[in-house]
């Protein structure tokens, strides 16, 4: 029920967009030179809605007719507006939380497409002019140049001001720890409580399982998880979940 308000606002802003015209494991984003027709716009808006509310399930590719739609959305004003609305809803909830002052009240953030944006990577590759290449994405991640998502950076800082401890829980693996920390700091994020990456024992685990296990370890240590922000449903579901979860939009890829 807590995601309902965010998703309702998400749909409203998505409808307005029609009037104006990571490490990903399984996705495909290809360019399209053809103009987006009205029928495609309506269909793709509905498709994106089904993705965000998780009705689409474990989807692997963007429908061919929606490639241009996704490109326009991710680089346009509506995506930024959606993020701002979700950040505002998150902050509204955060202000209602009583902070005990014992350092155990936490907010969890995913990293890719939640705190950091990998859009420069996709733009450099023609927004997926070729199938996703793991090696080239690893090179991009090691460069530590991904910019912050402005709305997320603002929320991050406001949560710290309110007294929350920040836990970063990412699907990136341990070899990327130094580059990830460097990238976060250069993008404006600092003073987090903990940065959790996949270890050797997490190899092959579904993201939802891995992240649930790490959240359980946190609660076993006495942390109270009030909020959780992520662009994938697998960031938010499972066990040891937060009191409220906030799903950021991402129609580019799906991670189980």
What tens digit of pLDDT does each residue of 125-161 get?
A: 755 444 467 888 999 999 999 999 999 999 999 999 9
Among 68-72, 78-82, 210-214, the least confident range: 68-72
Which stretch of 66-75, 90-99, 126-135, 229-238 has the lowest confidence by average pLDDT? Answer: 126-135
CA atoms within 13 A on the CB side of 234: 19
Is residue 254 pLDDT above 80, yes or no? yes
pLDDT at 37: 64
- Rounded distance between C-alpha atoms, residue 17 and residue 11, angstroms: 10
Q: Is the pLDDT of residue 28 over 70?
A: no
pLDDT of residue 38: 67
The pLDDT of residue 174 is 98
* b/e map 233-242, b = 16+ CB within 10 Å: bbbbbbebbb
- Backbone dihedral angles phi then psi of residue 144, each to the nearest 5 degrees: 60, 45
CATH number listed for the domain at residues 2-247 = 3.40.50.1000
* pLDDT at residue 244, rounded to an integer: 98
Whether 22 shows a pLDDT value over 90: the answer reads no
Q: How far apart are CA 112 and CA 2, in angstroms?
A: 23
Domain boundaries, the chain: 2-247
pLDDT band at 193 (very low <50, low <70, confident <90, very high): very high
Alpha-carbon gap, residue 242 to 102, rounded angstroms:
18
């Amino acid at each position: 029920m807590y995601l309902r308000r965010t998703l309702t606002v998400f749909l409203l802003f998505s409808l307005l967009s029609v009037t104006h015209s990571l490490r990903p494991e399984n996705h495909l984003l290809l360019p399209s030179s053809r103009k987006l027709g009205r029928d495609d716009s309506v269909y793709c808006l509905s498709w994106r809605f089904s993705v965000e509310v998780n009705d689409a399930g474990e989807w692997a590719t963007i429908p061919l007719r929606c490639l241009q739609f996704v490109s326009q959305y991710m680089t346009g004003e509506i995506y930024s507006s959606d993020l701002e609305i979700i950040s505002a809803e998150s902050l509204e909830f955060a202000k209602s939380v009583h902070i005990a002052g014992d350092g155990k009240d936490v907010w969890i953030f995913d990293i890719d497409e939640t705190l950091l944006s990998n859009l420069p990577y996709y733009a450099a590759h023609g927004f997926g002019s070729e199938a996703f290449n793991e090696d080239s994405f690893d090179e991009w991640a090691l460069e530590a140049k991904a910019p912050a998502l402005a709305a997320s950076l603002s929320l991050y800082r406001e949560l710290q001001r309110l007294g929350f401890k920040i836990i970063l829980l990412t699907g990136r693996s341990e070899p990327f720890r130094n580059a990830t920390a460097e990238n976060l700091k250069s993008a404006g994020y600092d003073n987090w409580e903990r940065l959790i990456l996949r270890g050797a024992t997490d190899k092959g685990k579904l993201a939802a399982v891995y992240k649930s296990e790490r959240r359980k370890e946190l609660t076993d240590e006495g942390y109270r998880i009030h909020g959780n922000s992520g662009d994938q449903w697998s960031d938010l579901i499972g066990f040891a979940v937060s009191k409220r979860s906030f799903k950021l939009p991402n129609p580019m890829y799906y991670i189980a």
